Chains A and B, each alone.
Chain A
């Protein structure tokens, strides 16, 4: 049946076109219907389907369906659905079209069966998503978006370079296991790494996500990094380097998150931290670890979406997002508070919430394979997550000191979207078998044994205790208006300053040199001019032409010299 061969990005792209030409209620209906129809369509697609075509000298695979890609395909549909519902009140064509195209590009990327198709969607992701940042229409967001775009496009160009080398080495562009041998492997690894927010390359994420619109951030948090996680899981499972990179990713954002004031930026840091767990899982590479990474990606899309939505609701209703100017909102936004706590519990991996059933897989895999130190780091990171995302976010927004803001719960569509995500968080936590049945491998893993539950509960309890004590003693870093320096400072401030300094030095030296040279030259010319009055006029007037001819002579002379010497 040819209907089955329609890749899932097609309905989204068509949807984007329809959104462009429709208005009002019809547009809303289309936007909600597209993810639903596409998801039903995807559900009926059999595994192992391939849609191929020939381009240049290669066989390209536009659509490849297997368990790994299906898993991401499903969750992207869920994310697109609650993202769309959450954004139903928005009346901004640019944002709506960009969101549809962005979701479609994410789907295109995870179902791409060759590097060239992947590259195309990789760049599409970058270009479409930047409009979600720009849609906020502030100077700040424009600049953040520009930086974001440059880095994302750069990642794409590196991917293309890697694909070229890969094609030259293997004569095929199939996107399968690549591994870190040869220049192609490293280039592609680097490209994935940038998009995956590897440490040092993570600046774009924390820089740009908090600058996007309320609804845009929800979409952003779902797709870009998860596509990169998918790509890593596909091409680099079992690459040991990833374990260490992932471990660093899990713990370093914690420190930034604790002192950060902008609550959406806190979430951006915790996004990196969660992706770190997935990267560790991919690096370990056993069936259990990959399962853990993939299912954690699945859950993360949902609970991180929920958290971004709840913070977005706060921003939408109060116009503020800094922890220092919020607080006491639980009185007027009770529903949002509850939903946010569900998200916080999920990300902190409370038993019976979704984070628990997936994160523990990665940690068990780390122990089973003898990475004890990594396990400790992950444990520390779990405590840290609970700290900044599980407690800090709800505490500073909804409790803490009363900021005096009196508002109400957000519009119904926002509440519905959040509720959908919250229900999924709990459902997966309570009945993980449904999620496990979708996983690429069958490992018979059971998260609810006594050790796991006990260990995790203890961890959470002591982390909570630490927060309470610190807070009571007044030792907890207060929420201050401040700017925290991260690595993006290097390219935002240091490099421009350094370059400027370098240029001005070069300029000075150059100017000085030229000055002396010019003075000499002028003296000569003045001398000449006295003798041949007409010549000096000719020289000054024809300077550009003269320089052209000079180049001709230089080239000819050096070329002749070279050929005679040869």
Chain B
């Protein structure tokens, strides 16, 4: 049983999804989904432990060994990512039923869970598999279900946002497929480990250059790197609240994973960073993205838009860390993957709670909420502080490592820009605090009640994690460090 864990992690949600149809009652389906996701979480914890102790696990699907068969390859990075994904999906699911009761008609609620499980399967599959074509397949599974999930939003604009995301996502996936095809053409293999061996021989060809270019652009679309982020704000803003929380905490993270996996493990760092001008391009795009997206966030009227743009800015930070290309830089990115999932999970769930009580997340409807929904607003403040990077929160830890990494590399202007970027975060978080605590509620409107426990429990779990991992950094740093070391081929 234990040896099958890598496959089970992906298979359990995949098999569970159609089973939901038999359960019929939304509440039952919710419990079932929650259990499945919890199970996946336990598996990922077990896998992470195993990987940290004894190194990568290679699982051969159906007993066919690579490079002919499909193999699953769980190393520290994959295990770290699947831990983030399953943990976030489980926490977010706690609030799911309460939230979608108000946002999705009863007869479509079961489909929500089915799609959710498919999205989970896809994301877990991407991080577990050791086969590039398999990556594409899982990418499509997760993307298609995500498009449908977004379209479930009660705002009619959700359809339009989902459609845009569909087009852009498909272009991205197609680019990745083209890249995979070109690589297959040159090497005749789809196995990642095999590709890593065979690619250097043909690296100096235009085909491989083109393959790399297509891959980079495709994956940048998926991770919403500026200026390819235009699909993201609307998709986040009009999707059902739970979907937003789940996507913000996981989907872009998986795209960053793909970027790291392809550049470090498949193409190799010397090819990616020295042969091709990836570094300069990414640092510039990352930093410009931080500033443009943060500025955009400052002017948004819909709070979901604010945090969506802030997500684009955070992706900018991750890309900057990634492009530094040292262990410290990579570690900063991995830490930020983890930490950003915690902050955005908490923030979007809290927005979900506001949506549940008020029915709107326009900034103007936050007026006076500080007194009416004290726990929810306190969570937004805590999450916001973490986003800014205030000490004693996870945001501080990741900013610290990011700035340290850039200073160590001698890029101190970058370090200064990163810190300046935090000032923008202060401004957009402040606008929400100002509305909630300093403005009087709209006269004549019935005061809102505090969010139900189904919301408060997961929200405060995440806020607690924001603070806990901001103080006791052993787990996150240890794993991120180990993953960065193994990616760069340094024995710890």
Contacts and interface: CB of A to CB of B under 8 A. Distances in A.
Contact of B397 (A56, A157, A560, A564): A56
Contacts of A555: 217, 220, 227-228
A430 to B, nearest CB: 45
Contacts of A116: 391
A551 B390 contact: no
Interface stretch (B41-49, B78-86, B414-422): B414-422
A168 interface: yes
Interface stretch (B139-147, B204-212, B302-310, B315-323): B204-212
Interface residues of A, number: 32
B473 interface: yes
Given A161-B415, A555-B220, A566 B277 contact: yes
B161 to A, nearest CB: 10
A167 B404 contact: yes
Contacts of B217: 552, 555-556, 559
Interface string A478-496: 0000000000000000000
B155 interface: no
A183 B426 CA distance: 25
Interface string B407-429: 11000100110010011001000
A168 B407 contact: yes
Contact of A560 (B171, B213, B408, B419): B213
A438 B422 CA distance: 41
Nearest to A555: B217
A559 B276 CA distance: 9
A105 B426 CA distance: 21
A548 B392 contact: no
Contacts of A168: 404, 407-408
B221 A552 contact: yes
A84 B276 CA distance: 65
Interface string A534-566: 000000000011011101100110011011101
Interface string B458-477: 00000000000001010001
Contacts of A566: 275-277
A563 B230 contact: no
Of B217, B275, B397, B403, the most chain A CB neighbours within 10 A belong to B217
Given A119-B391, A153-B426, A559 B213 contact: yes
Contact of B400 (A56, A545, A560, A564): A56
Contacts of B171: 549, 552
Contacts of B451: none
B19 interface: no
B216 interface: yes
A139 B169 CA distance: 48
Interface in B253-286: 275-277, 281
B297 interface: no
Given A120-B391, A551-B230, A545 B213 contact: no
B231 interface: yes
B448 interface: no
Interface in B157-180: 164, 167-168, 171, 175
A164 B390 contact: no
Contact of A161 (B216, B276, B419): B419
A154 B419 contact: no
B214 interface: yes
Contacts of B477: 56
A232 interface: no
A123 interface: yes
A466 to B, nearest CB: 47
A132 to B, nearest CB: 15
A196 interface: no
B212 A548 contact: no
A160 interface: yes
How many B residues are at the interface, by size bracket? 35 or more
Contacts of B438: 142
A165 interface: yes
B404 A560 contact: no
Nearest to A158: B419
Nearest to B277: A562
A464 B206 CA distance: 87
Contact of B412 (A157, A165, A564): A165
Interface string A80-123: 00000000000000000000000000000000000010011001
Contacts of A56: 397, 400, 473, 477
B281 A545 contact: no
Contact of A563 (B213, B221, B400, B423): B213
Of A123, A154, A165, the most chain B CB neighbours within 10 A belong to A165
Given A120-B392, A157-B423, A164-B407, A544 B213 contact: no
A157 B415 CA distance: 12
A315 B392 CA distance: 40
A507 to B, nearest CB: 15
Nearest to A554: B227
A549 B217 CA distance: 11
A142 B206 CA distance: 61
Contacts of A142: 438
A165 B407 contact: yes
A385 B112 CA distance: 73
Contacts of A544: 164, 230
A563 B230 CA distance: 25
A157 B419 contact: yes
Contacts of B276: 562-563, 566
A555 B209 CA distance: 14
Contact of B390 (A123, A556, A560): A123
A552 B225 CA distance: 11
Contacts of B412: 165, 183
Contacts of B230: 544, 547-548, 551
Nearest to A157: B419
A412 B209 CA distance: 83
Interface in B306-352: none
Interface string A309-353: 000000000000000000000000000000000000000000000
A111 B247 CA distance: 44
Given A161-B419, A545-B167, A560 B210 contact: yes
B277 A548 contact: no
A549 B214 CA distance: 14
A-B complex: 8 closest residue pairs judged by Cβ atoms: A168-B407, A548-B230, A556-B217, A563-B209, A559-B213, A560-B213, A551-B227, A120-B391
22 contacts: A55-B473, A119-B391, A120-B391, A120-B392, A153-B426, A157-B419, A161-B403, A161-B419, A165-B407, A167-B404, A544-B230, A547-B230, A548-B230, A548-B231, A549-B171, A552-B221, A555-B227, A559-B213, A559-B281, A562-B277, A563-B213, A563-B277
Given A548-B228, A548-B231, 14 more contacts: A56-B477, A120-B392, A154-B423, A164-B403, A164-B415, A168-B407, A183-B412, A545-B168, A548-B164, A552-B171, A555-B217, A563-B277, A564-B206, A566-B277
Interface of B: 164, 167-168, 171, 175, 206, 209-210, 212-214, 216-217, 220-221, 227-228, 230-231, 275-277, 281, 390-392, 397, 400, 403-404, 407-408, 412, 415-416, 419, 422-423, 426, 438, 471, 473, 477
